[in-house]
Amino acid sequence: MNPDTSIARYWTNRTLFSLLWPLVIEQILAVTMGAADTFMVSTVGEHAVSGVNIIDNINNLLIIAFTALCTGGAVVVSQYIGRKDHENSGIAAKQLVYSVVLISIFMMLMAVLLRRPIIRLFYGNIDNDVMEAASVYFLFTGLSYPFLAVYSANAALFRAMGNSRIPMRIAILVNILNISFNALFIYVAKIGVMGVGLSTLISRMIAVSISTVLLRRAGPVSLSGLFNIKIVRPMIKNILNVGIPSGVESSMFMIGRLFTQRIFTYFGTAAIAANAITSVINSFSFMPGTAFSLALLTIVGQCIGAGDIAEAKKQTFKIMKMAYVSLFVLSALTYIFQKPLVGLFHLGPEAYELALSFVRVHCFSMGLGWAVSFILPNALRAAGDGRFIMVASTVSMWAVRVSGAYLFAFTLGLGPLGVWLAMGADFVVRGTFCLTRWARGKWQTKRVITG
Q: pLDDT of 189-213, one tens digit each?
A: 888 889 999 999 999 999 999 999 8
Q: Is the pLDDT of residue 247 over 80?
A: yes
Q: Which of these three, 168, 200, 231, is where a domain ends?
A: 231
Task: Answer yes or no: is 290 within a domain.
Answer: yes
Residues 329 and 427 in one domain: yes
Listing DSSP states for 140-172 in one string gives HHHHTHHHHHHHHHHHHHHHHTT--HHHHHHHH
Residues whose CB falls within 8 Å of the CB of residue 66, separated by 6 or more in sequence, listed in order:
99, 100, 103, 104, 107, 145, 148, 149, 152, 153
Task: Answer yes or no: is 263 within a domain.
Answer: yes
Q: Is the pLDDT of residue 408 over 80?
A: yes
Residues 368 and 406 in one domain: yes
Rounded to the nearest 10 degrees, what angle do helices 86-113 and 115-123 cross at?
Answer: 80
Residues 278 and 178 in one domain: no
50 band by pLDDT with thresholds 50, 70 and 90 = confident
- Average pLDDT over the chain reads 87
pLDDT at 124: 73
Rounded to the nearest 10 degrees, what angle do helices 309-336 and 13-41 cross at?
Answer: 40
pLDDT at 429: 94
Structural domain count of the chain: 2
Q: Is the pLDDT of residue 218 over 60?
A: no
Separation of alpha carbons 152 and 143, rounded Å: 15
Residues 364 and 396 in one domain: yes
Angle at 384 (CA atoms; ends 98, 428), nearest 5 degrees: 115
Q: Is the pLDDT of residue 36 over 50?
A: yes
Separation of alpha carbons 198 and 178, rounded Å: 9
Task: Answer yes or no: is 236 within a domain.
Answer: no
Residues whose CB falls within 8 Å of the CB of residue 238, separated by 6 or more in sequence, listed in order:
72, 76, 92, 448, 449, 450, 451
Residues 308 and 222 in one domain: no
Separation of alpha carbons 21 and 40, rounded Å: 28
Task: Answer yes or no: is 241 within a domain.
Answer: no
pLDDT at 166: 92
Angle at 434 (CA atoms; ends 319, 404), nearest 5 degrees: 120
Residues 147 and 288 in one domain: no
Q: Which residue in 87, 204, 100, 216 sits closest to 158, CA to CA?
A: 216
Q: pLDDT of 352-382, one tens digit each?
A: 899 999 999 999 998 888 999 999 999 999 9
Lowest mean pLDDT among 31-35, 68-72, 408-412: 31-35
pLDDT at 8: 58
Residues 145 and 4 in one domain: yes
Residues 75 and 107 in one domain: yes
Q: Which of these three, 231, 263, 289, is where a domain ends?
A: 231
Lowest mean pLDDT among 42-51, 163-172, 223-232: 42-51
Q: Kindly state the average pLDDT of the residues 10-28.
A: 86
Residues whose CB falls within 8 Å of the CB of residue 168, separated by 6 or more in sequence, listed in order:
22, 23, 25, 26, 29
Q: Is the pLDDT of residue 60 over 90?
A: no
Task: Answer yes or no: is 303 within a domain.
Answer: yes
Helices and strands per DSSP (H, E), number in the chain: 21, 0
Residues 289 and 207 in one domain: no
Q: Is the pLDDT of residue 290 over 50?
A: yes
Range of the domain at 44: 1-231
Residues 225 and 256 in one domain: no
Q: Is the pLDDT of residue 141 over 70?
A: yes
Task: Answer yes or no: is 19 within a domain.
Answer: yes
